[in-house]
Amino acid sequence: MSKKKELAGQKFGRLLVLYDTSERKHREVVWHCYCDCGNEVNVTTYQLTSGHTKSCGCYQKERVAEANTTHGMTDHPTHYVWVAMLQRCENPSDKAYKNYGGRGITVCAEWHNAEKFINWALASGWEKGLSIDRIDNDGNYEPSNCRWATRKEQQRNRRNNRLIVFNGKTQCLADWAEEVGMDFATLWHRLYHFHWPIERAFTEPARRVGHVS
């Protein structure tokens, strides 16, 4: 195991590192920090030293408030997408942070400007019903790695997607559900909850009333 970096007493952005909490997250030391705004927060070594986390979340809230008074598009749906994107990547208190910022997913510098993000969205095919989708699920939020996708397209692009082989053909469950004409949830439950064999799961007719299978 590599030697622990001693960060107590150091300042990273608005965060002053107070002490090692003795907790570990993905083998990373978790430090208790004091933010300039007066809040306290626990942050890992990587989040601090990489510059990924610079405050308890107050900095991003200030950026959002600033944007609200400058670009005049706060009521546009893509503005809410922008806020949510930054929160899950940069606010350790956000419930989705562990799957985004906690994995090292960041938002590019250009998209810290709300107006630039909204302009990109409108020029890149945004329309109601679509969600922002990262092409590479381990990549960051940036123009070259993002697109607007339907719920089905996002399902196909999930990082934990499992490919299924049936009759010599390989594809994800969302595609199989469409091909065999069955509800996605029904197939998922048959395969991963009830552990049915693939052939039975794909070929046995679904019951219509009150049953998943």
Those residues whose C-beta lies under 8 Å from the C-beta of residue 77, and which sit 6 or more positions away, are 128
**Predicted confidence (pLDDT) per residue in 80-126, tens digit:** 899 899 999 988 888 888 889 988 999 999 999 888 999 999 898 88
Window from 44-48, 186-190, 205-209 with minimum mean pLDDT: 205-209
Those residues whose C-beta lies under 8 Å from the C-beta of residue 26, and which sit 6 or more positions away, are 44
- What is the arithmetic mean of pLDDT over 63-81? 68
Q: How far apart are CA 201 and CA 199, in angstroms?
A: 6
What is this structure's pTM?
A: 0.48
- What is the arithmetic mean of pLDDT over 28-48? 89
- What is the arithmetic mean of pLDDT over 29-47? 89
pLDDT confidence of 146, banded at 50, 70, 90?
very high
Q: What is the pLDDT of residue 70?
A: 52
Q: What is the pLDDT of residue 117?
A: 92
